[in-house]
């Protein structure tokens, strides 16, 4: 064969060999696989380029051999590497093992080593050939996957994988087992419906539809534990492929605490809403809620073209009860009154407590206003029934004002205002009655508002002056003393008599400040008269029950007397019979204290209340004052004459002084004197007069 042909064949063969070598290098690089060969006699090695890369060496810097390999094996894997090599040389079979090596740069790599011993013609191991594959990334991924698997398995959240078609459990983690009380084996025998008692196939199908649209779905459900107990969970559901099957992964979180908190917040909101809209004492709608209900009634009545009535119910002189026998008894009475009114109404009517002793009622769809009249009278009669408390039998009356929709007004504010005006009209008419609204009532109500505002200013500026009415001994016409009577000197309208402002002052509590002003001015005046050598006798002051109940009244009174130089023997305090009898035991204690300082006590308006003789004899009284209502028609009226005689006889038997007020005629004075009442007060002797007229009266009228 010609040399040229041989050269060409050799060239071709070398080219193919080179191509195969390049291809092998690419395969080794792609698979992270390096080949090597070790001469077991010389221990020298031949490494492929990828082997150098795996170990991190430059092939120009090291001479590979078996010792270099063993020097890179991690100590904990070294024994196994030597043992495996020995087995390979003994068996002659391909041997595989894993180990970790330290690369030239110090990094740790995981390798799979495959090796086989080649024997010579004498069956002696001559070469060791094999491969080293870098599986570091695989091991890292495997370890990472295992870590994730451990995290999922031991997560406190419940994690389930369900078959897409049957909803059977393919996987459950420890969190699910612990939460439900099942073992893993038990749960894997169940399906989703077994632990979700409220779940239905319809709900599941709906969730699947939502899932398909949103590629995931959240849902709240209830889980049932193995022991039958229930708890709330929040579920997050996603589609996955699990072991080549279509499945769902479900992440469940126990939200029982959250649900409990939500329920507590809901209950708290309900409670706060109730507190904001309902009266704490009676549990009736309060003013705020009632105004909303009134507005709704107006809207509905407009739509249906119907009328309704608004009733304002106010208890008469209820403040006296609170002041005399205590607010705890007052609260009991309010509750009882609320129950009585409520029982008088039909179920479709509305009752509310506006505050204090004031109630409001909506009588819906009344075709005849007489219905409102009948209901109002029923309420008045119901309230008047005796009320039994722990210690007292009490008699309460009420005044009722009525406004009509749409006849009187078409807004809630006007309806309330007009019913209020009618209620005050009922009080002006003597209380214990009802009144319908009329236009002139608005003017009266406005007058009251103006009066109240003016009273505040009058107290601040002390616009009150004191008039004095003498009390005369009818036997010798000598002056016994003077009763101090308040007048209001209004800067615009002039002198205002007590009847115009005292009831309002008693109602809103201004009477305490007014009485303090009267006490200060009258005591100061008496001290001045005595210094001037005059003898005005006893100063008689009216004492309001609010003052008597005050813990500081006695101290303040004695302080005023001390500052002015006013002597206790110059003073007489008048208290009304009804005030004392509201809480007789407390009155006895307070009046005894006052009496101990040498101050006289008189019962005013005697005969108009409900005195108990048992209490009357225990009170530290010095004087009975016969009310002018009995004096007015004597001696002509036989009943009044008999009552007056009885009062005089009672007072005399108790060793009390007797005084009669409102005496205007000679016959009245003579009747009283003849029957044993010698102290007279009234127009017959003198009208009330300002302080600057008293000196002349004293100087010129010792004998009248």
Q: Which pLDDT value is given to residue 83?
A: 87
Task: Give the residue, 473 or 112, on which the prediction is more confident.
Answer: 473
Looking at the structure, do residues 348 and 213 belong to the same domain, yes or no? no
Q: Which pLDDT value is given to residue 607?
A: 60
Task: Give the residue, 577 or 173, on which the prediction is more confident.
Answer: 173
> Within a 10 A sphere around the Cβ of 513, how many other Cβ atoms?
17
Looking at the structure, do residues 123 and 221 belong to the same domain, yes or no? no
Question: Which residues contact residue 325 at a Cβ distance below 8 angstroms, ignoring those fewer than 6 apart?
Answer: 391, 392, 582, 583, 586
Mean pLDDT rounded to a whole number for the chain: 83
| pLDDT tens digits, 27-73 | 455 446 888 888 888 888 888 888 898 889 988 888 888 888 889 99
Mean pLDDT across the stretch 185-206? 84
Count: domains in the chain: 5
Q: Which pLDDT value is given to residue 314?
A: 94
Looking at the structure, do residues 560 and 429 belong to the same domain, yes or no? no
The pTM of the whole model exceeds 0.85: no
Q: Which domain holds residue 302?
A: 279-437
Closest CA to 539 of 387, 691, 671, 328: 691
| pLDDT tens digits, 515-538 | 999 999 999 999 999 999 999 999
> Within a 10 A sphere around the Cβ of 627, how many other Cβ atoms?
21
Looking at the structure, do residues 38 and 102 belong to the same domain, yes or no? yes
Looking at the structure, do residues 516 and 498 belong to the same domain, yes or no? yes
* Alpha carbon distances (Å) from 76 to 65, 82, 100, 102: 21, 12, 9, 12
User: Is position 269 within any domain?
Assistant: no
Q: How confident is the model at residue 5 (pLDDT cuts 50, 70, 90)?
A: low
Specify the CATH number for the domain of residue 241.
3.30.450.20
> Averaging pLDDT over each range in 105-119, 239-253, 438-452, 521-535, which range is the top one?
521-535
Looking at the structure, do residues 110 and 128 belong to the same domain, yes or no? yes
Q: Which pLDDT value is given to residue 17?
A: 46
Task: Give the residue, 122 or 682, on which the prediction is more confident.
Answer: 682
Q: Which two tokens stand for residue 59?
A: 């092939």
Question: Which segment of 203-207, 477-481, 504-508, 630-634 scores lowest on mean pLDDT?
Answer: 203-207
Mean pLDDT across the stretch 654-662? 89
Residues 132, 134, 139, 141, Cα dihedral to 10°: -150
Question: Which segment of 86-100, 325-339, 430-444 scores lowest on mean pLDDT?
Answer: 430-444
pLDDT at 569 over 50: yes
Task: Give the residue, 637 or 212, on which the prediction is more confident.
Answer: 637
CB 410 within 8 A of CB 298: yes
Q: Which pLDDT value is given to residue 27?
A: 47
Q: How confident is the model at residue 23 (pLDDT cuts 50, 70, 90)?
A: very low
Looking at the structure, do residues 547 and 692 belong to the same domain, yes or no? yes
Mean pLDDT across the stretch 188-195? 88
Give all strands of the β-sheet with 125-134 in edge-to-edge order. 45-47, 33-39, 125-134, 108-119, 95-102
User: Is position 353 within any domain?
Assistant: yes
Q: What percent of the chain has pLDDT over 70?
A: 86
């Amino acid at each position: 064969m010609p040399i040229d042909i041989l050269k060409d064949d050799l060239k071709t063969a070398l080219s193919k060999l080179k191509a195969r070598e390049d291809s092998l290098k690419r395969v080794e690089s792609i698979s992270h696989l390096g080949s090597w060969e070790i001469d077991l006699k010389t221990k020298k090695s031949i490494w492929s380029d990828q082997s150098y890369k795996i170990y991190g060496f430059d092939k120009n810097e090291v001479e590979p051999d078996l010792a270099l390999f063993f020097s890179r094996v991690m100590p904990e894997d070294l024994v196994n590497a030597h043992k495996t090599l020995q087995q390979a040389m003994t068996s002659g079979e391909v041997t595989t093992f894993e180990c970790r090596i330290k690369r030239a740069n110090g990094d740790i790599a995981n390798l799979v080593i495959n090796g086989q011993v080649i024997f010579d013609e004498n069956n002696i191991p001559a070469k060791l050939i094999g491969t080293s594959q870098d599986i570091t990334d695989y091991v890292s991924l495997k370890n990472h996957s295992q870590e994730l698997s451990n995290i999922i398995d031991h997560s406190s959240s419940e994690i389930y994988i369900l078959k897409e078609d049957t909803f059977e459990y393919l996987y459950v983690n420890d969190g699910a087992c612990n939460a439900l009380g099942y073992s893993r084996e038990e749960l894997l025998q169940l399906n989703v419906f077994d632990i979700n008692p409220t779940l239905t196939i319809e709900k599941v199908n709906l969730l699947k539809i939502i899932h398909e649209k949103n590629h995931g779905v959240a849902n709240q459900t209830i889980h049932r534990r193995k022991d039958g107990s229930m708890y709330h969970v929040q579920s997050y559901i996603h589609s996955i492929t699990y072991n080549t099957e279509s499945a769902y992964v479900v992440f469940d979180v126990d939200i029982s605490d959250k649900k409990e908190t939500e329920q507590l917040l809901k209950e708290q909101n309900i409670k706060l809403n109730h507190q904001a809209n309902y009266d704490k004492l009676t549990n009736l709608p309060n003013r705020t809620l009632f105004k909303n209900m009134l507005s709704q009634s107006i809207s509905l009545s407009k739509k249906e073209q119907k009328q309704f009535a608004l009733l304002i119910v106010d208890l008469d002189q209820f403040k006296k009860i609170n002041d005399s026998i205590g607010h705890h008894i007052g609260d009991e009475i309010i509750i009882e009154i609320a129950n009585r009114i409520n029982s008088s109404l039909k179920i479709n009517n509305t009752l509310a407590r506006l505050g204090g002793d004031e109630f409001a009622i909506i009588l819906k769809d009344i075709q005849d206003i007489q219905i409102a009249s009948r209901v109002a009278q029923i309420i008045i009669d119901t309230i008047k029934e005796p009320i039994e408390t722990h210690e007292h039998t009490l008699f309460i009356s009420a005044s009722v004002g009525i406004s009509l929709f749409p006849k009187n007004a078409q807004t809630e504010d006007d309806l309330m205002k007009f019913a209020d005006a009618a209620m005050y009209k009922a009080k002006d008419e003597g209380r214990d009655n009802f009144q319908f609204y009329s236009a002139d009532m608005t003017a009266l109500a406005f007058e009251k508002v103006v009066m109240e505002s003016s009273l505040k200013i009058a107290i601040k500026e002390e616009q009150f002056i004191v008039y004095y009415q003498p009390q005369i001994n009818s036997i010798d016409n000598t002056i016994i003393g003077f009763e101090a009577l308040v007048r209001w000197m209004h800067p615009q309208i002039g002198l205002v008599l007590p009847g115009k402002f005292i009831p309002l002052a008693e109602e809103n509590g201004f009477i305490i400040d007014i009485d303090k002003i009267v006490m200060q001015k009258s005591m100061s005046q008496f001290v001045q008269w005595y210094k001037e050598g005059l003898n005005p006798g006893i100063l008689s002051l009216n004492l309001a029950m609010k003052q008597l109940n005050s813990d500081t009244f006695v101290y303040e009174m004695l302080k005023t007397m001390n500052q002015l130089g006013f002597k206790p023997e110059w003073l007489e305090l008048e208290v009304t019979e009804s005030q004392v009898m509201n809480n007789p035991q407390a009155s006895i204690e307070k009046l005894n204290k006052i009496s101990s300082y040498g101050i006289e006590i008189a019962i005013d308006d005697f005969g108009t209340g409900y005195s108990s003789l048992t209490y009357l004899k225990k009170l530290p009284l010095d004087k009975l004052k016969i009310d002018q209502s009995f004096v007015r028609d004597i001696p002509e009226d036989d009943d009044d004459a008999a009552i007056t005689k009885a009062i005089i006889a009672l007072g005399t038997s108790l060793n009390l002084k007797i005084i009669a007020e409102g005496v205007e005629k000679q016959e009245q004075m003579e009747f009283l004197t003849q029957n044993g009442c010698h102290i007279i007060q009234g127009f017959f002797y003198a009208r009330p007069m300002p302080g600057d007229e008293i000196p002349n009266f004293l100087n010129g009228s010792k004998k009248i």
